[in-house]
Homo-oligomer: A and B are copies of this chain.
């Protein structure tokens, strides 16, 4: 079996002095609250040099001294990579595939499902959400969960159905070939949502084509045509009584490294190109070659949207089409636009939160599942039983999480739970609360912080309480300071989270029963996810 080799951190000498100085992580140079740099590039000494390197600690010629985190240096090695989640090499290109589906109700209840759906839009290009109530306006609720609605001349929301005097081909029953929307807008809306309220007509199927894949095929099959489309800005236009929009951009947009980054394709609104004669002919040949690839049946995924279906797609990449339908039947979609940056941002926040949940899961499955601290249940089982008591008693989500996590301080501090059992107070309630404070608010951290104090408090104010304690708990009570004195009791009662801590304490005492079957960590994943800040 192969094992992963440990990451070797580069020395600071692998980076230019100006790079190191500009990326100094110290709180004078970078605001810890938002990670923003507090200076401009011209504020740096143009002759900045490194005068000493000691491990990863760097002394600069301007007198500044800072230690770089070796893992951070390793993660930012000067390897020439320019990762960009919007460029072709970050995408999963496809020819045909079963339409990726998600459940709207699961998106609302389970952050990890929402995360998968957003990831699918960003990397596959579209997702078909099922079960969005077939009621007018609901598409805006979907957009609000994904990102922010982009309002346009069509409104925050638009209806796609047959109209008597259509201002746009969309509002007829005519078939529409693969296209991107609003090519005459710059910035173009980067996400589109289409929500089906009714679809009782014959025809009216929706089709989706991966424009990045098609462009990559064109590049492989006809490199000159690809170059011509990428190097020729063309103008798209839309006008009606109150609107006059134009945008001038190439049909295939590349980033400065030549990677495909945007497709704009819509003959309806293409204005006449004004290239010289021969180049115009070459342009049309290239345009046709691209259009023919886009029209290949093997590259189109077809879906018949039914009431409650909402398709969400990347309008810079995925072309959509629809077959014609009888204008007499009822077919009603509602659509709106949004943007990929907001969607990708929400995805990144969900990932950050998921990473916290995964980290906690590892604690439960690793040390927590193996460790006994003088009780007949593992620490993981003890915490799960405590959480189950909190759920049974209708505790608020923050307090359920506090119950679930109240003893994490035993694993995360430098002094462990075993030290506590050996007679050294590991202050696990404070250590745990501080550790959790990186991700959770006081509704989680403070009951954890006070749960040991609550034991000492109850021993002081409730004569029968001491008798309920387990043997191990009576032992640690001494290590932790014994019952509170009168002044301490008053101080404890003044704490805002004292009542929650006392509730937690009673569940804690109750949760030491070997073999009791309770919900596992997974049952709490969504609850934890939503509490992460």
Contact = CB atoms under 8 A, between A and B. Distances in A.
Contacts of A341: 185-187, 245, 247
Given A14-B277, A272-B19, A243 B349 contact: yes
Given A22-B284, A256-B230, A80 B168 contact: no
Given A40-B267, A256-B233, A342-B153, A284 B18 contact: yes
A273 B79 CA distance: 10
Contact of A274 (B44, B80, B245): B80
Interface in A142-188: 148-153, 165-169, 174, 177, 185-188
Interface stretch (A31-39, A298-306, A327-335): A31-39
Interface stretch (A82-90, A378-386, A483-491): A82-90
A274 B81 contact: yes
A231 B344 CA distance: 24
Given A16-B280, A34-B240, A85-B248, 9 more contacts: A16-B277, A18-B284, A22-B284, A33-B165, A34-B166, A39-B267, A76-B272, A78-B275, A244-B345
A23 interface: yes
Interface string A343-357: 011001100100000
Contacts of A36: 168-169, 238, 268-269
Interface in A478-514: none
Interface string A279-315: 1110010011001100100000000000000000000
Contacts of A342: 152-153
A255 interface: yes
Contacts of A151: 148-149
A272 B256 CA distance: 18
A533 B241 contact: yes
Number of copies: 2
A133 to B, nearest CB: 23
A274 to B, nearest CB: 5
A31 B256 contact: no
Interface string A226-253: 0000111101011111111111111000
A86 B186 contact: yes
Contact of A288 (B38, B42, B255, B281): B42
Nearest to A350: B244
A340 B232 CA distance: 22
Contacts of A81: 274
Residue from A165, A166, A246, A281 whose CB has the most chain B CB atoms within 10 Å: A246
Contact of A273 (B19, B167, B254, B284): B19
Contact of A233 (B31, B82, B174, B237): B82
A493 to B, nearest CB: 29
Given A33-B167, A33-B240, A76 B16 contact: no
A402 B274 CA distance: 41
A233 B87 CA distance: 11
A302 to B, nearest CB: 17
B276 A80 contact: yes
B82 A277 contact: no
A257 interface: yes
Nearest to A80: B276
A26 interface: no
Residue from A148, A245, A272, A348 whose CB has the most chain B CB atoms within 10 Å: A272
A15 interface: yes
A190 interface: yes
Given A239-B34, A248-B86, A276-B78, A187 B349 contact: no
Contacts of A284: 16, 18-19, 22, 41
Contacts of A250: 256
A396 interface: no
A41 B272 CA distance: 13
